[in-house]
Chains A and B, each alone.
Chain A
Amino acid sequence: MNYLKNTALISLILISIGCKRDKDDPTDPIDINEEELITSVVLHFNDTESGVQFSSGWRDLDGPGGNSPVIDSIILETNSIYDVTLQFLDESKNPSTDITEEIKNEDQEHLLCFETSNSLVAIERTDSDGQFEVGLLSKWISEKTGDGSISVSLKHQPNVKDGTCNPGETDVEVEFPLIVE
């Protein structure tokens, strides 16, 4: 009965080193944990001359897919200068979370890029991570009247940030209709 002992011993070893198991129950799915979900991009405008303040948002509260995003138009006065502050929010939860601070903390890895059609506005980033610009704060100068669009994108550039929009991965890319009156 020696072999039986051996077999039993080896089986025991096998079972003790093995037997990984799933601790979760399929019938009780956990809450979906979308890491760093950004649902909303809000641009806060401050007219440097008149002091008038307003905001325009790009919101997709149910995340990718499902309902289409709700997009505000940006309406600017011609020949004006605006201070613009960007805000990134997760409004899928209640209360909503502000992700802007997180981006600010990792500003050496992030860059905001703006692109306008028809050269309706000139945009300068006014903040810095110490070496390169970031773009959470910017100055917009409206130069001529017309209709067009503006795209705002947040690039994630860990260890590859060089001040340009080329390297890295796109975390956010949204387009707003733009009207300069």
Chain B
Amino acid sequence: MLRLIACIPLIAFAITASAQNDCNLTVSGQVVDEHDGSVLSYADIVILGTNLGTISNELGYYSIGGLCAGKLIIACSHVGCEPIYDTIEVSQNIVHNFYPEHHAELLNAVRIDEKKTPIRSAVEMETIEYQERQKGKSLGESLSSISGVNTLNTGASISKPMIHGLHSNRLLVLNNGVRQEGQQWGNEHAPEIDPFIADELTVIKGASSVRYGSDAIAQVVLVSPKAMTDSFGIGGAFDLVGQTNGRGGISALMFEGSHKQIEAFRWRVQGSIKKLGNQQAPDYFLKNTGLEEWNFSAATSFSDQKKGVELYYSQFNTNLGIFSASHIGNLTDLQRAFQANEPLESSGFNYEIKTPYQHVTHELIKASGFLATGEKGKFQVTYAHQYNLREEFDKHSVDQSVPALSFEITTHSADALWEYRHGIGSKLKIGASTMAQGNTFSGRFFIPNFKKWSTGFFAIEQWKMSNRWTLEAGARWEYVNQLVFIRKGAEVNQFQHAYHQPTGSIGILKSFRSDWQWRTNLATAWRPPNVNELYSNGLHHGAATFEIGDTSLVREVSYSWNSELSFKRKRVEAQVEIYVNYMDHFINLQPVFPATLTIRGAFPSYQFVQVNALLYGVDSKIAFDILPRLKSHFQNFNSTS
């Protein structure tokens, strides 16, 4: 019989203990297979809504201490079993046995959770589910309901997440476990991900972030698709979302299935289409602010508890109209645009997307596999291929079907990870990742062609020292090599930029009672200067600025400390976080004077420079469930640098 520790995330709704000072009660018992009466060792037993939990021993016995008197939900999960959720009333030390049915695959039971509230750990600080009310919003907008996450909006349709004032290439976005590699160097480039793929959005704030890269200066955002279906048969979902501003909407369709004849095989196909016309301000329409998006994905997996393979494909396509009146020529035009009472170009309502506009395509092919190593370990490998195309069509060009500039970026990446669980809530992760990337451009010069390689090794330990204390530490070493190719006439000049540096993070998580949690973390992260920061030299048309790179830039290193206190009860949730981030050689764009004089007139000029910067602030959030279905939400961000 399998003696694996289940990795099924325990998800349920917690009824919190009533406030009593008596917090030294114990629940203990045995886990026994309902069918054959055999004892089940290594079953996970958790008190929901708290950080209390344990695993059953060789004889199936378990014991959890430090409980407060009151009503609790206790959950037991074991490989191949449906998790069991029991409500227990604790007023003295009690015995509670579990009798899981050990053949979950024979049952087609559908469990409906009233509400999913993931158990928190130091690793996954905050998760939001992509709920009904989020549908229709862009990914960036959905993320903004997490405390500490803001969005950076450029125009009606472009929004990207920002944490503690940092965004773009300082914030990693993981799409289905793969680092999103797109054109992230501009403020007006949103993450190229279909929001309908996302079932769960998670912000990782602790040491675990070193798994994903050395450059998680502003944390990591995980976009996770729905887990593959567990029940046999074919299921599906259809969404239709309407939006009055823009007079359009989204339609999304998903089918998934799993079949009795081939138990291990599961599949899912999914697609969405979005179409919006010109956005409307109170007194006028914003010309050329339409948007269209068409995305699809397919996934298949073949797995059992010990081994598995998964294949995933997704494609994202969008055409984004750029508000005509914001596409200005030079400083004189900018001043005129500022002084105008209404946009200098106006239009009625229509769905047409004309120049200026952007077209973006992003394709991801992912193959992954895992193999259980012994009873407590798991080894997994992932290969991913990403292709990203960004085309920018100028307002004024001779041939409107040819983009004024286009970039194509191709990324191959491979990751290996070994995970070893040495106790409940304790695990060790060791891994390596490598990546090769190539970027080409055509049209107007903005950033040159480049090739980039990186290799990293990491180890993360999450150690649950006691029921109340968890220690987390992670380290990574990464080597990055960039080759830049610039043509001068018949000759191609090649420039190399190579970097290597360690990264580290250490943190503590403490739970008090059952509903308070305190977390603190010290971390360092770094990133090499981007190619645009090194080599851009030209008009950034979207922003009407002249941007000047600096090839002498060095890597940027962040040293940060943050501390968070959170409280979560049935109907109230509160959180306050303090952060301090010292950035050594912080790369930023600073205005230079005089403005660059060109034949198109004068343009505001900016140069990439490095300074030592201190970013600090406080994020706070309180959420109440006023009525079961009505939630009130206050968020406050306060940052200074």
Contacts of B492 in A (CB 8 A): 27-29
- Whether A10 pairs with B311 at a CB distance below 8 angstroms is yes
Interface residues of B (CB under 8 A from A): 261-262, 264-265, 267, 298, 300, 302, 309, 311, 313, 315, 327-330, 332-333, 336, 344-345, 361, 363, 365, 387, 389, 394-398, 404, 408-410, 438-445, 448-451, 483, 485-487, 492, 494, 537-539, 546, 548, 596-603
Contacts of B404 in A (CB 8 A): 35
**CB-contact partner of B445 in A28, A32, A36, under 8 A:** A32
Listed stretches A18-26, A47-55, A77-85, A139-147; interface member: A18-26
- Whether A30 pairs with B300 at a CB distance below 8 angstroms is no
Chain A 160-181 near chain B by CB (<8 Å), digits 1 or 0: 1000001101111110000000
A133 within 8 A of B: no
Give B265's nearest chain A residue, CB to CB. A3
State whether A22 and B408 are in contact (beta carbons under 8 Å apart), knowing that A41-B599, A174-B599 are contacts in the complex: yes
- Whether A18 pairs with B365 at a CB distance below 8 angstroms is yes
Give the complex CA separation of A171 and B345 in angstroms. Answer: 16
**CB-contact partner of A29 in B300, B363, B365, B440, under 8 A:** B440
| Minimum Cβ distance to chain B for residue A109 (Å) | 9
Give B298's nearest chain A residue, CB to CB. A14
- Whether B599 pairs with A172 at a CB distance below 8 angstroms is yes
A65 within 8 A of B: yes
Give the complex CA separation of A59 and B229 in angstroms. Answer: 66
Nearest 3 pairs between A and B by C-beta? A173-B601, A170-B329, A24-B440
**CB-contact partner of B396 in A2, A18, A30, A171, under 8 A:** A171
Contacts of B397 in A (CB 8 A): 35-36
Give the complex CA separation of A34 and B602 in angstroms. Answer: 19
Contacts of A158 in B (CB 8 A): 396
Give A40's nearest chain B residue, CB to CB. B599
**CB-contact partner of B265 in A6, A19, A171, under 8 A:** A6
A11 within 8 A of B: yes
- Whether B487 pairs with A7 at a CB distance below 8 angstroms is no
- Whether B311 pairs with A171 at a CB distance below 8 angstroms is no
For A11, A40, A68, the residue with the greatest tally of chain B CB atoms inside 10 Å of its CB is A11
Give the complex CA separation of A167 and B329 in angstroms. Answer: 11
| Minimum Cβ distance to chain B for residue A164 (Å) | 11
**CB-contact partner of A27 in B451, B538, B539, B597, under 8 A:** B451
A148 within 8 A of B: no
Additional A-B contacts beyond A21-B387, A169-B329 (18; CB < 8 A): A10-B298, A19-B363, A22-B410, A27-B451, A30-B487, A33-B442, A33-B444, A35-B394, A35-B444, A36-B397, A60-B598, A64-B546, A64-B600, A65-B546, A65-B596, A69-B598, A167-B345, A169-B328
State whether A35 and B398 are in contact (beta carbons under 8 Å apart), knowing that A22-B438, A30-B442, A65-B537 are contacts in the complex: yes
State whether A170 and B600 are in contact (beta carbons under 8 Å apart), knowing that A19-B365, A27-B451 are contacts in the complex: yes
Contacts of A149 in B (CB 8 A): none
Give A109's nearest chain B residue, CB to CB. B396
Give the complex CA separation of A26 and B410 in angstroms. Answer: 10
Contacts of B265 in A (CB 8 A): 3, 6-7
Give the complex CA separation of A179 and B517 in angstroms. Answer: 76
- Whether B332 pairs with A7 at a CB distance below 8 angstroms is no
Give the complex CA separation of A24 and B603 in angstroms. Answer: 32
Give A30's nearest chain B residue, CB to CB. B442
- Whether B449 pairs with A27 at a CB distance below 8 angstroms is yes
| Minimum Cβ distance to chain B for residue A175 (Å) | 9
Contacts of A14 in B (CB 8 A): 298, 311, 313, 365
Contacts of A21 in B (CB 8 A): 387, 410
Give the complex CA separation of A164 and B577 in angstroms. Answer: 55
Contacts of A156 in B (CB 8 A): 395-396
**CB-contact partner of B336 in A2, A29, A35, A166, under 8 A:** A166
A114 within 8 A of B: no
- Whether A10 pairs with B449 at a CB distance below 8 angstroms is no
A58 within 8 A of B: yes
Give the complex CA separation of A164 and B12 in angstroms. Answer: 67
Contacts of A13 in B (CB 8 A): 298
Give the complex CA separation of A38 and B570 in angstroms. Answer: 66
- Whether A26 pairs with B451 at a CB distance below 8 angstroms is yes
- Whether A28 pairs with B298 at a CB distance below 8 angstroms is no
